Structure 1
């Protein structure tokens, strides 16, 4: 089972990977264009951490049955 901090880290690292692909002139134009296209609506690290903070602060509310999706941290923080 993926923990919220692991999911957060994966999303942040995926964005970094897409940025590398989009900016690498040695890759085919199509790969760079696709990476750039995906980045247009991909959440930033700040967006993901903010989502994590909102979810962590609203754990007592019946917002989601599955619990938080994201974390405000990229590492495990025991409660």
Structure 2
């Protein structure tokens, strides 16, 4: 099972990989153009880290709300039960480590 910091690192490094592909003149033009098209809408690292911070903050706030007012509505409670999609950059100790 993929850990949240591994998933976050992979998404961030994929952007770098696509950028490298788009600039590699030894590759066919069709590959470089496809990488450029994908990059156009691909999130930047800062956007991924922000998403992770927002998820952590949401969990903290919902936990406080549950502690203060008792059980949450199921629509809110399911957010606490779900694993986060991304993590904050500070939680990602190996953010610059290359994936093997």
1:67 deviation in Å?
Answer: 2.3
Aligned mates of 1:25, 1:66 — CA distance in 2? 43
Q: Compare CA radii of gyration and give the structure with the larger one.
A: 2
Aligned mates of 1:40, 1:66 — CA distance in 2? 30
| Range 56-65 or range 31-40, more displaced | 56-65
1:75 maps to what in 2? Answer: 93
Q: How big is the alpha-carbon RMSD for the aligned residues of Structure 1 and Structure 2? A: 1.6
- Give per-residue Cα distances to partners, 1:3-32, cap 9 Å, x unaligned: 111111000110000000001111100000
Verify the 8 A CA contact 1:6 1:75 in the aligned structure 2.
no
Where in structure 1 are there 5+ consecutive unaligned residues?
A: none
1:75 deviation in Å?
Answer: 2.6
Aligned mates of 2:4, 2:93 — CA distance in 1? 9
2:77 is the alignment partner of 1:59? no
Q: Number of aligned pairs?
A: 76
List structure 1 segments (4+ residues) > 3 angstroms apart after TM superposition: none
2:17 is the alignment partner of 1:17? yes
